[in-house]
Amino acid sequence: MTRSISIFGATGSIGDSTLDLLRSDRDAWDVAALSANCSAEKLATLAREFGAKLAVVGDESCLPELRQHLDGSGIEATGGKQALCDAAAMPVDISVAAIVGCAGLGPTMAAIEQGHTVALANKEALVSAGEVMTAKVAEHGTTLLPVDSEHNAIFQCLEGNDLADVRWITLTASGGPLRTKSLAELEAVTPEQAVAHPNWDMGAKISVDSATMFNKGLEFIEAYHLFPIGLDALRIIVHPQSVIHSMVEYRDGSTLAQLGPSDMRVPIASALAYPARMDTDLKPLDLANIGELTFFAPDEERFPATKLAREAAHAGGAAPAVLNAANEVAVAAFLDGQIRFTQISAIVARTLDNYAPPAPASLDDVLAVDAEARACAAEMMEPA
């Protein structure tokens, strides 16, 4: 049976992995829409390859180039924020929400409101707008499938079980490329060192988030919204091998863990095929070759990001949105060489201390908080 799909963020790492899976069973998928921020030539190439009905660029200035590359294809091309939301509102069997940052909030909400299935890879949807988004999911009866490897692992470990029987949910963290460095060494870390993740091939921003442990803090907040068992039943453990992607402990003492290779095609395949399974060409785990799996408690003195995220989650309201926005600003400044690595967490902490708006009641409120928090974070900058 052919299923319809739209992919928002088609030219990014999640989009690449998703389209790679679609290639393995091309006749099973009808591609409705593909989007990118710009990357007009790559987007056009993908739209032609998959016979997409619509290609959308978030940056409207890239639309003329997109139309040029699609000339004669019969594929419609549109651009701008509203065009993304309009595309996401098109009814399809499954929408993959993989636009990075708050730019993905509007399209993700539009996809949720069409009431089918959303494979969620946009962290900001639940970190910045958790209550708003989950309320819409409930209102429209949408099936929300997590694509982050950790949340997808938890989802799989919970399948067929009752949340009331859960004692703990444990998110695993690789610890990133800087896990063994001292505080003094972290002061001198370069962007090149921070993005050199030992296990995962990811974009620059999420790679830095892994190095600071902010990715795990953001995932902690996401897990709170996806799996409502209470903040005190969520915990984080460092697992450098990235073989166990997360674990669920039940009240009878049983712990279920999901294991797999460090490849995003595993959780994406889980979401695309749900509730069934699909074939992939991934090499099976060789546990004998891996040899050992190790675990450590997070060091929140060297990496305070998880502590900041936990505090923001407990504070609730707008605090997670402020944390997310401040982190995005600080990471961009670090990648541009404006601040030191250790200043990322410091800027986030100062922003949370200096900006405490009311809880957002709508997506517009979330976006307003995000904009103001970014401005506040920019004021907290000190030279590197």
Residues that constitute the known binding site for NADPH? 11-14, 122, 124, 203
For 22-155, strand residue ranges (E) read 29-36, 54-57, 76-79, 94-97, 117-120, 143-146
127 contacts 222 by C-beta, under 8 angstroms? yes
CA distance readout (Å), 87 to 70, 83, 122, 134: 17, 6, 17, 21
Q: Which pair of structure tokens corresponds to residue 147?
A: 């694509």
323 contacts 348 by C-beta, under 8 angstroms? yes
Strand order across the 234-238 sheet? 234-238, 166-173, 244-250, 255-259
Residues that constitute the known binding site for Mn(2+)? 148, 150, 219
113 contacts 125 by C-beta, under 8 angstroms? no
Residues that constitute the known binding site for 1-deoxy-D-xylulose 5-phosphate? 123, 149-150, 174, 197, 210, 215-216, 219
Determine the 3-state secondary structure of 122 from DSSP.
Answer: coil
| Closest residue by Cα to residue 378 from 327, 318, 304 | 327
CA distance readout (Å), 353 to 348, 363, 377: 9, 23, 11
DSSP 32: E
Residues that constitute the known binding site? 11-14, 122-124, 148-150, 174, 197, 203, 210, 215-216, 219
